[in-house]
Every structure is written in C-alpha cells, then in structure tokens.
Amino acid sequence: MALKLTTARTVQPLTLAEAKLHLRVDVTDDDTLITALIVAATNSAESLMQRAVLPQTWTLSLDCFPVYAGPVWLLRPPVTSITTLKYMQASDGALTTLAGTEYAFSSSTDYAGLVVPAYDKVWPATRAFTDAVQIAFVTGYPTAAEVPEEIKAWIKLRIGSLYANRESWTSGRGNLSPNEHIDGLLAPYIMSVL
C-alpha cells in the first residue's frame, strides 16, 4: 500500500493578513517570510494529523483489492470524492477504469473515506502485480472558512514560534520550552490507525 500526493493544495487556511494580525506585524518587509511560514506550519499540521486541511488529490495504490468484497479505507480525511478508481485486469494487465456504478463511496466518517463494491457486486480480479489498484481521491475541507478553528489556532501559534525563533538552535539561559497544551488543539483531528 502506498499513498502519494498527486495535486497539492493551492490555497492556505490563513491569509497573509490573518497571519500578520496574529504576529502583530504592520510592515511588509517580512511578507515573503510569513507567507512561507504559513505553508510550513500548515504542512506540519497536516503531517501531525495525517489529515488534509484544504482540497488536494491523493492516490492510494494497492497490490490487489481486499478479499470477499472487503472495504478500502481512504486515509487523509476528510475525503470528499473519488476522482478515478483504476485496476490492472487479471487477463492482460491493461489498466482499466472501474465504472462508478461498480462501487460505493462513503465519506460519512471524519476519520477516513470508505470504498466498497456496489450492492450485489464484487471487486474485479486484478493482475498479481505491484500497484495493481490505483484510487485517486480528493480530500480536505472545501474552503478555508470550513477549517476547524482549533487547526487554524495551532497553525497561527506555530507561525508565531517560527517567526520569533528563526534559528534551529537556541542558546543561553533564556531557552524556551515547548507548551505541551498547544498540540492538544490538534488532538481531536489526529488520525489513528484503523
């Protein structure tokens, strides 16, 4: 099983103006830096949560479909749609798109999307080969306004930390220690293994 980002998010959950307001920065001198910190902090949040913050496309590759019409779990929630579901035919290895009528998709859980064969259907036989099944799906909250405030607050706090501490090492008696309560903001959104 492999999960690969195929189309990254094109917008961020915070605007430059929102980040600058949080940082109490009125000048434009650091706009490029702050913009980069928004991206870095959002990437860190996504990595910690194993969740997509805004729309992006991922591809899940499997060596075969689950046995007995078992489910396929699509991680990196919230999963909103399936773009394509392709598989290598057992007979000739041709990469074939499975029709949407052959499977059912559920995004009713906030922890994973679920794909199963449609009612009274089974998964097709696949060639025994690496990445014989490829499912491309869209995940992430539809707009920045729909990203939970706890996630946005964590991103703002991470931006603040990165902006204030621009070196990878600190020295001296005034070292800062991490605030253990900050990561608690992300706790409800962190993916656990199914």
Q: Which ranges in 117-164 belong to alpha helices (H)?
A: 149-164
Backbone angles phi, psi at 10, to 5 degrees: -105, -10
Helices (H), the chain: 16-23, 31-49, 149-164
Is the previous residue joined to 55 through a cis bond, with omega within 30 degrees of 0?
Answer: no
Interior angle at CA 52, CA 76 and CA 12, nearest 5 = 170
Please give the structure tokens belonging to residue 57: 């496309």
> What is the residue extent of each domain of the chain?
2-53+144-165+181-189, 59-139
Instruction: Report the percentage of the chain scoring pLDDT > 70.
Output: 91
d(CA 122, CA 157): 48
Residue 59 has pLDDT above 60, yes or no: yes
**What DSSP designation does 131 have?**
T
Distance CA 170, CA 49 (A): 27
The stretch 47-58 carries a mean pLDDT of: 95
Q: How confident is the model at residue 118 (pLDDT cuts 50, 70, 90)?
A: very high
Say whether the peptide bond before residue 66 is cis (omega within 30 degrees of 0): no
Rg (CA), the chain: 21
Give the pLDDT mean for 111-132: 92
The CATH class that applies to domain 2-53+144-165+181-189 reads mainly alpha
Q: Is pTM beyond 0.75 here?
A: yes
Distance CA 85, CA 62 (A): 11
Residue appearing with tokens 């070196």: 167
